[in-house]
A and B are shown apart, each in its own frame.
Chain A
Amino acid sequence: MEFLVASGVGAMTAAGVYLLLRGRTFPVIIGLALLSYAINVFLFATGRLVINRPPVIAADAAGYTDPLPQALVLTAIVISFGMTALIVVLALRAYLEAGSDAVDTEEATVEPAASHDTRPGLPRDGDAA
């Protein structure tokens, strides 16, 4: 079980880091979200893995798992939602302002040479107003 959780965290981290290093904003955001999952599970797992012992006080409970990492992770989940929401809106605004969602500006010029007049989406830089 421990191995499964650990390798799961590893897989999410690897996928997150890979997406983080992409050149467009959307994959970067997804990468950050994946990293948040990984780190949340990581923090949670520092309280060790325990089955069927939720930290809810009861007379007949056999024992409790460590509640502290859970409390930490709970707020971390909500805060990472706030962060994801903020950066996705940031990316959206940047896209609307610049007409490109490339992370690096100099690479933004390397656009695929699609030049239909009625191409979907937002007008790009250089389009006649």
Chain B
Amino acid sequence: MTLAWIVLLPFVGALLPGLLIRAGRDACALATGAVTLLALILLLTQAPAVFAGEVVQAQWEWLPVLGLDVTFFVDGLGLFFAGLILTIGLLIIAYARYYLSKDDPMGQFYAYLLLFQGAMVGIVLSDNVLLLLVFWELTSLSSFLLIGYWKHLPEGRQGARMALAVTGMGGLSMIAGMLILGDIAGSYDLTVILQHGDAIKASPLYLPALLLILGGCFTKSAQFPFHFWLPHAMAAPTPVSAYLHSATMVKAGIFLMARLWPVLAGTEAWFYLVATTGLVTMIIGAWIALFKDDLKGLLAHSTVSHLGLVTMLLGFGTPLAAVAGIFHILNHATFKCALFMTAGIVDHEAGTRDARRLGGLATLMPITATIATLAGFSMAGLPLLNGFLSKEMMLEEAGHAVWAGNPWILPALATLGALFSVAYSLRYVFHVFYGPLRDDYPHAPHDPPSGMYLPPALLVVLVVLIGLLPAVVAQPLVEVVATAVVGGPLPEFHLAIWHGLTPALGMSLIAVAGGAFLLWRHTAFNRLRLATPRPEAKTIFDATVGGFAALSHVLIDGLHNGSLRRYLAIFVATTLAVGGGAFMSGEYAVGDRPALPATFVPVMGWLLLVGACIAIVAFHRNRLLTLIVVGVIGLIVSIVFIYLSAPDLALTQISVEVVTVILLLLALNFLPKETPRESSPTRRLRDAGLAGLSGVGIGSLIYVLMSRDFTSISEFHLAQSKPGGGGTNVVNVILVDFRGFDTFGEIIVLGIAALAIYALLDGALHGPAAKRLNSWIADQDRAKDRHPLMMVVATRVMLPLSLVVGIYIFLRGHNEPGGGFIAGLVVAIAFLMQYMASGFGWAERRMRFDYHAIIAWGVLIAGLTGTGAWLAGRPFLTSDYGYVKLPFLEKFELATAMGFDLGVFLTVVGSVMLALASLSRMARRTEEPVSPEPMDFVPIPGGALEPVDDREEPN
């Protein structure tokens, strides 16, 4: 549990800074620091066990089917890295408190920082590689936020994007590699994978896995040729650069190489890939660093170079080289982090970090200068400091390495790298802090507040301590870590200052002397560098990104040109292609289920249907005619339903048909009555082809389906309908009982659709739409008798009858064809007829119910009926029924499902009526004379007939 808390604490704690920033910057920083400190203390409680050689594990199942479990473990390597992350995190938090200005949103900064910290700790403590990958991606994301923290700086945004693009791509390749690795080992747990080193190395998939994983590691750790993102990420605030880009995130790739060292290292492929990349990175990084005038740029490239050094050591594949690599990670973290902080201090106090504008700061800011000098000398690898020790070990290992049968090329190049390293380190120290005092600093430089120099000072104390007493301070830790990396017993080694007159010492001397010479002749060498062609990484990166963007544009513009018709055509064509592909690859056979005979009536219906389909396509420009033909088709479909034993469907279809046609008619009132001929003949031919193929496809699909026998789960429904649901109409019982939850969802959708219609049409009463409506000219001749007497009388006489029919259909629905849906539609039609016959105004004045409320009540009643089952301790929507005997009536059945059906009924009535009432409300805006009277006369201008006011309403 402790392990999980170490990882979780930063994530949970990330909420604190955002909240506590209101209590002030100190409270914010303190809370962040406290979270980190707590995590560090928890980690240290695990240290004794780890030093005793144990591996502490914690495990929870998460998605066991995928092999994804939440498993953590801590061994030497995990402890070392987690300790590094949390300790340096703590120092950075203190430093950032003073570094950030008052205008910077500090709460945000600390929240991002903690997120990043949690993700990093997650990487180093994860046992499950899939979990590790999740954290790996999280570091990319959180570092994106941190690099782009100064959102107003374009460099910051570009740098963040570049870092995300490069490391994100690496992360993808890493996922693939890890999946292969887990596949070979048969488990996604690192502890298991680490046991299968031989199997993995022998696998034919070893090389692909290696390449993919290295792709992730090299991008994250900024190895050549992916090194270019790191210097651009330096646009971040200095605490971020110090934390992410020197101490932690860029070491994630190295961590992973160290972690997987036992299973991946030791092969020829590993040696040539990793050691060579490391070597090249080391030299190129150092060479560029030497000529960077921006202090952070210099340090960034030096970090690239040192990461290369560690990578090279891991690449050698020998245990001693791994020991040297581990030791150098520790040393580099201490001196480089301190150096970044001093660069930040110089920038902060002197107002610039351009080396050409600095110099002689030692007298003005002595404390900073001391810190920077010690850390810089350590980076140069001068004796008595920790950088010297690991550099010596590196040169020693390089001296033994043979590259392609050549024993001197590696030592020579490693010495060259060390030489450059000496040169830029000394440059950082001497060109900034020593030399003549100047009088043109942008600010008056002085030492910063103690909060800013104490963190680097602490690190420098470590630099010196390790440098003087390596055997006491560092040896035990390095042993534990290296054991974990090597995954077996270590050869004997001693961290010491003096190993005698070794070849490494000679190489070191050459490096120091050469480096000093290089710095002395810096200007000359700079001219030499400027004379040679240098590829500019950012330009290449931008060009690549631009190229991909252009390619995407070509692709997308070709498909998505903004024309919806085109999208639809592409969609239909694609569907056809997919269906056609499936058809070609499968077997096609008509089944042997006996067909029903085609008698005279069905053939007539078929003729009507096909004729109507042809007519609708041929005459679709005449919209009114189209509507009539649609009505014909709907009618035939409902006859099909009734003929083929589906009375409920037939009832629903025919009532929906009526409502739909009325609705379309009302809408058509405002729309053009003709569709202009616009499509070219080729386009029409193309559409006809697509349509014909779709028809043939769908038709033959259903034909084959119908010709085969099948098994259904509805035996259950048929058997349980009466005893379980209390109704004999199985379709209705399925709707209100077996699949009641579905129906519940569907009436909600219907209600939402009606409300959306209301909102859409309500919005049309304002703005340009309203203007158009107000100046609307009726485009069709109107009947002089708007509300014919016959129709008015007929509909009013029919109203009570229709309502009784509706109630009848509703009540019998559970046992006979009918039910809430159909009853709702029938009742809605009955009301609609009043609107049509007697006019909107007349009907609306008499309709005293709010349709919104009816919809709401419907949904509510259906929901409440469902929850009623809870009172009986049954699941939602379980129905019950009993028999009731009322006087004068037969005994009849009352089921709770009826309450649910009532909800359905009300929702349907409310939705249909709301949709139509909204349309009619809009019609009244068109200055169409609407008579409030039931049977109006249109007054003849100057004529004798006036509308009669005292007309009595029937009944």
Contacts and interface: CB of A to CB of B under 8 A. Distances in A.
Contacts of B626: 26-27, 30
Given A6-B699, A7-B699, A77 B652 contact: yes
Contact of B648 (A70, A79, A93): A70
Interface in B128-147: none
A123 B713 CA distance: 57
B691 A49 contact: no
A33 B816 contact: no
B692 interface: yes
B703 A92 contact: no
Interface stretch (B4-12, B290-298, B592-600): B592-600
A106 B643 contact: no
A11 B627 CA distance: 17
Interface string A39-76: 01110111111111111111000001111101101110
B714 A2 contact: no
B718 A57 contact: yes
Contact of A110 (B678, B718, B816): B678
B678 to A, nearest CB: 5
Interface string B894-918: 0000000000000010010001001
Contacts of A129: 771
A119 to B, nearest CB: 8
A93 B760 contact: yes
B563 A12 contact: no
B752 to A, nearest CB: 8
Interface in B539-582: 562-566, 568-569, 572
Nearest to B819: A74
A56 B660 contact: no
Contact of A3 (B598, B627, B678): B598
B712 interface: yes
A8 B606 contact: yes
B372 interface: no
A111 B606 CA distance: 38
A75 B772 contact: no
Interface in A68-114: 68, 70-71, 73-75, 77-79, 81-86, 88-93, 95-97, 99, 101, 103-107, 110-112
Interface string B611-633: 00110110010010011001001
A65 B645 contact: yes
B524 interface: no
A51 B564 contact: no
Contact of B767 (A11, A41, A97, A105): A97
B659 A57 contact: no
Given A10-B695, A10-B700, A46-B705, A74 B735 contact: yes
Interface stretch (B311-319, B454-462, B721-729, B875-883): B721-729
Interface stretch (B355-363, B379-387, B429-437, B775-783): B775-783
Nearest to A111: B676
Contact of B768 (A24, A56, A97): A97
A27 to B, nearest CB: 5
B746 A93 contact: no
A115 interface: no
B637 A41 contact: yes
B690 A82 contact: no
B761 to A, nearest CB: 6
B750 A21 contact: no
B730 interface: yes
Contact of B728 (A34, A56, A103): A56
Contacts of B595: 1-3
Contacts of B606: 4, 7-8
Contact of B777 (A29, A50, A121): A121
Grouping DSSP codes into helix (H, G, I), strand (E, B) and loop, the B interface class, with mixed when no group exceeds half, is helix
Most buried by A among B595, B671, B742: B671
Contacts of B609: 8, 11-12
B687 interface: yes
A13 B694 contact: yes
Interface residues of B, number: 121
A10 B700 CA distance: 8
Nearest to A57: B728
Given A33-B660, A81-B660, A93-B764, A21 B572 contact: yes
Nearest to A15: B613
A73 B673 CA distance: 32
A17 B596 contact: no
B888 interface: no
Given A77-B649, A89-B757, A93-B764, A14 B613 contact: yes
A120 interface: yes
Nearest to A54: B645
B663 interface: yes
B657 to A, nearest CB: 9
B125 interface: no
Contacts of A42: 698, 702
B562 A106 contact: yes
Nearest to B771: A129
Contacts of B761: 89, 92-93
A24 to B, nearest CB: 5
A82 B652 CA distance: 13
A91 B675 CA distance: 14
B675 A55 contact: no
B646 interface: yes
B45 interface: no
Contacts of A38: 698
Contacts of A96: 670, 764, 768-769, 772-773
Given A33-B630, A50-B644, A78-B750, A68 B702 contact: no
B130 to A, nearest CB: 39
Contact of A79 (B634, B644, B749): B749
27 contacts: A7-B699, A10-B700, A11-B610, A12-B613, A13-B695, A15-B695, A18-B617, A22-B565, A22-B620, A24-B672, A27-B675, A34-B616, A37-B633, A38-B698, A53-B645, A58-B728, A64-B718, A64-B730, A77-B653, A78-B750, A89-B918, A89-B919, A91-B671, A106-B562, A107-B563, A111-B676, A120-B778
Across the A-B interface, the 4 shortest Cβ-Cβ residue pairs? A10-B699, A120-B779, A14-B695, A6-B703
Interface of B: 562-566, 568-569, 572, 593, 595-598, 602-603, 605-606, 609-610, 613-614, 616-617, 620, 623, 626-627, 630, 633-634, 637, 640-641, 643-649, 652-653, 656, 659-660, 663-664, 667-668, 670-672, 675-676, 678-679, 687-688, 690-692, 694-696, 698-700, 702-703, 705-707, 710, 712-714, 717-718, 721-722, 728-731, 734-735, 739, 742-743, 746, 749-750, 753-754, 756-757, 760-761, 763-764, 767-769, 771-773, 775-780, 815-817, 821, 908, 911, 915, 918-919
Interface of A: 1-27, 29-30, 33-34, 37-38, 40-42, 44-58, 64-68, 70-71, 73-75, 77-79, 81-86, 88-93, 95-97, 99, 101, 103-107, 110-112, 118, 120-123, 129
